[in-house]
A and B are shown apart, each in its own frame.
Chain A
Amino acid sequence: MPKRTDIKKILIIGAGPIIISQGCEFDYSGTQACKALKEEGYEVVLVNSNPATIMTDPETADRTYIEPVTPESLAKIIEKERPCALLPTLGGQTGLNTAVEAAKMGVLEKYNVEMIGASIEAINKAEDRELFRDAMNKIGLRIPNSGFANNMQEVDIISKEIGFPIIVRPSFTLGGTGGGVAYNPEELAVLAKSGLDASFITQVMLEESVLGWKEYELEVMRDHAGNVVIICSIENIDAMGVHTGDSITVAPAQTLSDKEYQVLRDASIAIMQEIGVDTGGSNVQFAINPEDGEMIIVEMNPRVSRSSALASKATGFPIAKIAAKLAVGYTLDEITNDITGETLASFEPSIDYCVVKIPRWTFEKFPETEDILTTAMKSVGETMSIGRTFKEALQKGLRSLEIGRFGFGADGKDPEPGSLSRNELEYRLATPNSQRIFFIKHAMTNGMGVEAIHDLTHIDPWFLFQMKQLVEFEKTIALAGKDLPKDMLVKAKRWGYSDKQLAHLTGIGEEKIETLRKRMGIVPAYKLVDTCAAEFRAATPYYYSTYEKECEARVSDRKKVIILGGGPNRIGQGIEFDYCCVHASFALKEEGVESIMVNSNPETVSTDYDTSDKLYFEPLTREDVLHIVEKEKPFGVIVQFGGQTPLNLASDLEKAGVPIIGTSPDSIDRAEDRDRFQEMLDKLDIAQPANGIATDIDAAHAIARKIGYPVMVRPSFVLGGRAMKIVYDASELEEFFNLAVKASPDHPVLIDQFLEDAFELDVDAISDGENTVIGGMMEHIEEAGIHSGDSACVLPPYSIDQKHIDEMTRAAKALAKELNVKGLMNIQFGIMDDKVYVIEVNPRASRTIPFVSKATGVPLAKLATKVMLGKTLAELGLTEQVIPAHYSVKEAVMPFDRFSKVDPVLGPEMKSTGEVMGMDMDLGAAVAKAQLGAGQNLPVEGTVFISVQDSDKNAALEVVQEFYQMGFTLLATRGTAMFLQENGIPAKVVEKVSTGRPNVVDAVKNNEIQLILNTGASSQTKADGYAIRRAAIRYKVPYATTTDGTRAICKAIQALKRESLTVMAIQDYHTQEGE
């Protein structure tokens, strides 16, 4: 049946900010869906609060609402836009939940909006464990024995029926928040409680443990005619017990015979039919008992998911795009397979390579949390690699991770054999953790056998055997040393070894290995990802490298530019950089230049085969990038858009003769190198905080004394403020110094004057080397000292004197000219005591580029790309700064709920995973939208709890007064309450956690507090403050940990009390102001 003509306008819900378990894969799927529906002639309305997405670009949808993804704002958008249909299956769990809530509110019915893709009934059947169990039993499938508990009494009863260990799984959450494994009643009490809290419907399922069983996933698509195809099978290397998002996974499934695979396939089809997924993609997860093959269904997601993004990249089959087309009435056999151009979407991809996905964790950011993996997801990104064999793909995947490793060990970073005690090693193998793959390597090097490791890890012996082959071959290579024969070198490359590993094993330098290898003619071949194992000719140039005879890369003689992407997402380097890379690709297309993308992140839009003219799905290492450059011989390579990953490669690439376009690596170095930077600032008469550089602790003490405490300390060359800290005295300095040196042993520690209580601003500018235009100036809401990635900010600035704005503009232009910036530049300024300081200059795309572009309507990354190709800003029509009339507020979204024990205070080390944007003509309303988008449910009445450290008390007074005037009841700890009373503000006293009960945490739990203002991390208040902040997270009470943050929230609440928030499409903001 062809597409439906009875619907014209379709509303798509995006996933909102990037959080753990909901990453940029939903930008990838949402963007595909928007494009697909627009192509079909539908008018697409989009809601998504995440400005860093391609999907919220003004061109992607027809009407784009950067508004909170909540049922309330959805209702307003529906009222305004009157869409015919709502497509809820592309915005992750957030999209699904929001749609369900809106339906419950009666909005869809009221405005006659049809839900397409999945019905409410189907969603409920799949998401509600009780309904799901009944549905599975009906079709003869089993899910683990389990029971549902709505309170702790029921938990107790059910746990006795099931027996330990028990899996706790909250209903209606994403990424298994609040879930886990309990081995005894004590642990169960803790887990069940947090699970009930995390659940959308205050319900947990207690489940028979199938720990150690094998885990599989099938990605399934169904059309409304009932045709079903399986796109991809995925086998988890980590057994049941580790969240699939935290598992290393392999596609296709490796250890199933056809008989067993078909059982899973039949079950998936039956499940699709029984759940009633009308159209689109779903994901079914299976557990298989390795002893006898007994199968149980773990869960089913009636929507596109992280796994479907992975499956799309792994096979070349664009699940989200097809899902969108199926939702408007097409059947699978009416849609062409883009990759071949001749076959149809109604088939099942066959793949002739091996795909390995490895999650990227950032436990180092949260030292209070033990590095342990459970059924609640903790990774913040992932990398995918493609090889002809598992061994090759595994090694490529590990060197794609951006953790300083270059394969399955053998890279000089392996611990000495025997350096771990047997007990320690066994614990590390038996308890899943982010480094387990390397502990396996270590165990093998120490002589532990496959069987013993299997017993501890439950990892299928097949995978362990593959790893063992690598460990054994490594010994052979080391033995050959300098006399490495050709056939051994060939085999090593075919098994995925990097030159770095071979250099380490043989003792020959990396460049010597490279020379030797090339002399022998050992270079990679590029093979196509074609969905069909070469059965049909492929039209789409999507490549991976391998060491084989035949290279399929079709190298054109067009002018071409390679864009280096950012690799796996991690805290400090996220979707914002992918956004910039994608824009670079779009700009190249507009300029008629062939675009070639190199990246290893399967979640992104940049690795959509549709984005660039060519896609190389490869690790971003010097070796892998050079191979592509040698093959393609590009006009230029862009390194300034992908964040730190490509920047770190820039000078090595340049040394190898690669043409880097845009700002030169030398300019980047001038901005990074302390001495050269200082010299430049002196020359330009720009102030920077007093600073010094220390290579040992004695020098550090001396410098800090000279500058005066507090000082900011950090290792050089890091992104995301890793290991950066403000220290207030000598002992703190000493304590930190050790940590920092550990974080970056090759680089000294930098010590800066800390601009206490200063205003901080981020400025993004674009320059063609001659002229510079300010892209956007953002005033941070939090004071200096909070990492700019974690700080909320406002564009345009709302409280900065014009003279300071002028000075910052002057400084930016002078810096751009001096550094001969061709492209983008970001500067952080601090203003203290009426003086402007430059804190940092980065002549590259910054994290704020997408936000600024959305706020101003100026596509900075695209323009910068064109500048790199040689255009001037004047030619591009950008001659002056665009200062919008509306306010845009960016708020960071923190992952504290995922990491137990972490104190959720902000500091100079970045911890946020994502961001949201609030736009409004009124500043307060824009802040309110940003807060709502970030999940903070701001109250308009009730009780505000206040506890501030002495140094903040005066500053807090004014804002507390405002809360009081708005009619809030004030609750404070004894000291703060007395201070408030002295100043004429009545406040009730509540006990601190350390002083008695009922205390403030009890009040939080009893729902007696609606907003928390809690500052101060000094040691005497630490424990109390910590308990309050953790309680706030646990019970989802909005909180602020800085006075400035509180002021902003106050403004937001004032706005909310004044009138209800309105919604407006960015297309309208931009045209209204353009006129």
Chain B
Amino acid sequence: MKALLALADGRTFPCLSFTGPGEAAGEVVFNTSMTGYQEILTDPSYFGQMVTLTCPMIGNYGVCPEDVESDRIQARALIVREYVDFPSNWRSTGTLADYLKKEGVLGIEDLDTRALTRHIRNKGAMGAVISTTDLDPASLVEKAKAVAPMEGCDFVKEVTCAFPYFWRDNQPVHVAKNVVLDPAVWRHGKEKHRVVALDFGIKYNIIRCLETAGCEVLVVPATTSAETVKALEPDGIFLSNGPGDPGPVTYAIDTIRALLGFKPMFGICLGMQLMALAMGAKTLKIKFGHRGGNQPVKNLATGKVEITAQNHGFAVDLDSLGEKGGLMTHINLNERSLEGIKNEDLQAFAVQYHPEASPGPHDAAYLFNQFAAMMDK
């Protein structure tokens, strides 16, 4: 079915929809991972965005229920060069097109995705609209211009959980409404580290990695107060990844500020940005973001290079870090940008990239053990 992609700066790409009719709007970004489209689609950090995959053939291995990173598709649309409607993989339970259709998410193909990627690289990530109903370029460009920018938007409230949940048997189990959030909720007593994870859009694999590192994780809504967290008597606090601009998520920044120094704290991606803001540093929007599975990051303590998965459009301003914000622990080797911070006094550390991978390399998985070790002390 014919479709049109229009960017806010006026460029349009005729294409085809492989998921039937529809219209979608959001910020258009690109991801250079060659595998992991299902994880990407379900990653809450993509909320509000339409994702272009630079890998040209997508759908090859179908979809599989174990590969989701949240309970639904979070991206607003998927943009590929060629959709392959013939999955071949022993784990596959269905096609990508059916999966997208079921969740009402638009998928388009047959456009020059490399041209689109280069355009985003040169002009920056921007608002865009895809439609199968409105194929008039002028009209669609107008709609694209009307797409609200990411800056200043609080997307966390759109993706955070409504109720706290534990991770049991590899799936979320909500804490009943009548249960009081006190130390009695922990099932494992003291033999596991009790971790409260503030959910700004957490990926399931983060919870899995924390569990593997010996933690029992209680995921709580982003708006959970510092008092509630403290009342749970956790051993550590985890700040999750999430979508969009950290700036407007002031309630979380306040909570984090109140919790800094209370217990060991570990943040990932948006979690790091919020932590940095709570420490007094600044964040900024970067031109087209880092989205992919091949970003080299150097651990300044060991000198080792980790190949990392990344997904962010905002970053902590290195110059604003200052003494209070802690020390830089990791650096991006491509751009020499900030990838990790640590504040010994506050027992807090965070990374901008995704050690939980999914999709992506496992090189940085040691960070979960590092968090566990911190809680051991």
A262 with B361: CB separation less than 8 A: yes
Q: How far is the CB of A844 from chain B (nearest CB, A)?
A: 38
Across the interface, which residues of B come within 8 angstroms of A259, CB to CB? 66-67, 91, 358
B303 with A225: CB separation less than 8 A: yes
Is A429 part of the contact surface with B, judged by Cβ < 8 Å? no
A462-B60, A533-B117 known; A258+B36 contact, CB < 8 A: yes
Q: How far is the CB of A1035 from chain B (nearest CB, A)?
A: 46
Interface segment, one of B78-86, B226-234, B262-270: B78-86
Across the interface, which residues of A come within 8 angstroms of B13, CB to CB? 549
Complex: A534 Cα to B114 Cα, angstroms? 7
Is B94 part of the contact surface with A, judged by Cβ < 8 Å? no
Is B342 part of the contact surface with A, judged by Cβ < 8 Å? no
Residue of A nearest to B361 (CB): A265
B304 with A261: CB separation less than 8 A: no
A354 with B57: CB separation less than 8 A: yes
Q: Which of the residues B32, B56, B89 comes within 8 Å of A532, measured between beta carbons? A: B32
Across the interface, which residues of A come within 8 angstroms of B303, CB to CB? 225
Interface segment, one of B143-151, B158-166, B210-218, B294-302: B294-302
Across the interface, which residues of A come within 8 angstroms of B55, CB to CB? 252, 350-352, 533
Complex: A260 Cα to B66 Cα, angstroms? 12
Residue of A nearest to B120 (CB): A534
A352 with B292: CB separation less than 8 A: no
Across the interface, which residues of A come within 8 angstroms of B362, CB to CB? 262, 265-266
Is A556 part of the contact surface with B, judged by Cβ < 8 Å? no
B296 with A535: CB separation less than 8 A: no
Q: A346-B307, A352-B56, A353-B56 are in contact. List 20 more A-B contacts (CB 8 A).
A: A252-B34, A258-B36, A260-B89, A260-B91, A332-B305, A344-B296, A346-B296, A347-B296, A351-B34, A352-B54, A352-B55, A352-B81, A352-B114, A461-B86, A462-B87, A533-B114, A535-B54, A536-B334, A537-B121, A549-B111
Interface size class of B (residues with CB under 8 A): 35 or more
Q: How far is the CB of B329 from chain A (nearest CB, A)?
A: 16
B114 with A347: CB separation less than 8 A: no
| Across the A-B interface, the 7 shortest Cβ-Cβ residue pairs | A258-B36, A258-B359, A550-B115, A462-B88, A533-B54, A258-B35, A465-B86
Complex: A343 Cα to B107 Cα, angstroms? 32
Across the interface, which residues of A come within 8 angstroms of B305, CB to CB? 225, 227, 331-333, 346
A352 with B296: CB separation less than 8 A: no
Across the interface, which residues of B come within 8 angstroms of A998, CB to CB? none
Q: How many residues of A contact B (CB 8 A)?
A: 56
Within 8 A of B (CB), among A236-267: 252, 254-262, 265-266
A535 with B304: CB separation less than 8 A: no
Residue of A nearest to B39 (CB): A258
Q: How far is the CB of A536 from chain B (nearest CB, A)?
A: 7
Complex: A462 Cα to B89 Cα, angstroms? 9
Is A293 part of the contact surface with B, judged by Cβ < 8 Å? yes
Is A342 part of the contact surface with B, judged by Cβ < 8 Å? yes
Within 8 A of A (CB), among B24-62: 30, 32-36, 38-39, 54-57, 60-61
Is B242 part of the contact surface with A, judged by Cβ < 8 Å? no
Complex: A353 Cα to B32 Cα, angstroms? 12
Is A1047 part of the contact surface with B, judged by Cβ < 8 Å? no
Q: How far is the CB of A890 from chain B (nearest CB, A)?
A: 45
Q: List 21 A-B contacts (CB under 8 A).
A: A230-B307, A257-B36, A257-B64, A258-B36, A258-B39, A259-B91, A293-B90, A342-B334, A346-B305, A346-B333, A348-B293, A351-B34, A352-B56, A352-B113, A388-B114, A532-B294, A533-B292, A534-B114, A534-B117, A535-B32, A549-B115
Complex: A261 Cα to B309 Cα, angstroms? 14
Q: How far is the CB of A291 from chain B (nearest CB, A)?
A: 6
Complex: A176 Cα to B107 Cα, angstroms? 46
A257 with B117: CB separation less than 8 A: no
Complex: A265 Cα to B39 Cα, angstroms? 18
A333 with B333: CB separation less than 8 A: yes
A549 with B112: CB separation less than 8 A: yes
B90 with A347: CB separation less than 8 A: no
Q: Which of the residues B32, B64, B88, B90 comes within 8 Å of A533, measured between beta carbons? A: B32
Is B222 part of the contact surface with A, judged by Cβ < 8 Å? no
Kindly name the residue among B82, B111, B304, B360 whose own CB sees the greatest number of chain A CB atoms within 10 A: B82
B89 with A350: CB separation less than 8 A: no
Is B357 part of the contact surface with A, judged by Cβ < 8 Å? yes
Is A527 part of the contact surface with B, judged by Cβ < 8 Å? yes
Complex: A351 Cα to B298 Cα, angstroms? 23
A350 with B307: CB separation less than 8 A: no
Is A226 part of the contact surface with B, judged by Cβ < 8 Å? yes
Is A290 part of the contact surface with B, judged by Cβ < 8 Å? yes
A390 with B304: CB separation less than 8 A: no
Q: How far is the CB of A509 from chain B (nearest CB, A)?
A: 29
Across the interface, which residues of A come within 8 angstroms of B117, CB to CB? 352, 533-535
- As a 0/1 sequence over residues 530 to 547 of chain A, the CB contacts with chain B under 8 angstroms (1 = contact) are 001111110000000000
Q: Is the interface of B mostly helix, strand, loop or mixed?
A: loop
Residue of B nearest to A342 (CB): B334
Complex: A569 Cα to B106 Cα, angstroms? 46
Within 8 A of B (CB), among A505-560: 527, 532-537, 548-550, 552
Is A229 part of the contact surface with B, judged by Cβ < 8 Å? yes
Within 8 A of B (CB), among A267-296: 290-293
B307 with A462: CB separation less than 8 A: no
A534 with B81: CB separation less than 8 A: no
Q: How far is the CB of B360 from chain A (nearest CB, A)?
A: 7
Is A460 part of the contact surface with B, judged by Cβ < 8 Å? yes
Is B118 part of the contact surface with A, judged by Cβ < 8 Å? yes
A293 with B91: CB separation less than 8 A: yes
A262 with B357: CB separation less than 8 A: yes
Q: How far is the CB of A528 from chain B (nearest CB, A)?
A: 9
A290-B90, A293-B90, A353-B56 known; A534+B67 contact, CB < 8 A: no
Is A481 part of the contact surface with B, judged by Cβ < 8 Å? no
Residue of A nearest to B290 (CB): A535
- As a 0/1 sequence over residues 290 to 327 of chain B, the CB contacts with chain A under 8 angstroms (1 = contact) are 00111110100001110100000000000000000000
Complex: A480 Cα to B86 Cα, angstroms? 26
- As a 0/1 sequence over residues 89 to 102 of chain B, the CB contacts with chain A under 8 angstroms (1 = contact) are 11100000000000
B86 with A347: CB separation less than 8 A: no
Is A689 part of the contact surface with B, judged by Cβ < 8 Å? no
A462-B84, A532-B32, A549-B115 known; A255+B89 contact, CB < 8 A: yes
Across the interface, which residues of A come within 8 angstroms of B358, CB to CB? 258-259
Q: How far is the CB of A1047 from chain B (nearest CB, A)?
A: 59
Q: How far is the CB of B138 from chain A (nearest CB, A)?
A: 19
Across the interface, which residues of A come within 8 angstroms of B118, CB to CB? 534, 550, 552
Within 8 A of B (CB), among A453-491: 460-462, 465-466
Complex: A226 Cα to B89 Cα, angstroms? 33
Complex: A292 Cα to B36 Cα, angstroms? 19
- As a 0/1 sequence over residues 237 to 261 of chain B, the CB contacts with chain A under 8 angstroms (1 = contact) are 0000000000000000000000000
Q: How far is the CB of A455 from chain B (nearest CB, A)?
A: 14
A262-B361, A343-B334, A460-B88 known; A255+B61 contact, CB < 8 A: yes
Is A349 part of the contact surface with B, judged by Cβ < 8 Å? yes
A229-B307, A462-B86 known; A350+B33 contact, CB < 8 A: yes
Complex: A470 Cα to B149 Cα, angstroms? 43
Q: How far is the CB of A796 from chain B (nearest CB, A)?
A: 56
Complex: A534 Cα to B112 Cα, angstroms? 12
Across the interface, which residues of B come within 8 angstroms of A462, CB to CB? 60, 84, 86-88
B121 with A534: CB separation less than 8 A: yes
Complex: A1020 Cα to B286 Cα, angstroms? 83
Across the interface, which residues of A come within 8 angstroms of B33, CB to CB? 258, 350
Q: Which of the residues B32, B36, B66, B114 comes within 8 Å of A527, measured between beta carbons? A: B114
Is A389 part of the contact surface with B, judged by Cβ < 8 Å? yes
A255 with B294: CB separation less than 8 A: no
- As a 0/1 sequence over residues 202 to 225 of chain B, the CB contacts with chain A under 8 angstroms (1 = contact) are 000000000000000000000000
B295 with A256: CB separation less than 8 A: no
Across the interface, which residues of A come within 8 angstroms of B121, CB to CB? 534-537
Q: Which of the residues A229, A257, A353 comes within 8 Å of B91, measured between beta carbons? A: A257
Residue of A nearest to B38 (CB): A257
Complex: A377 Cα to B264 Cα, angstroms? 58
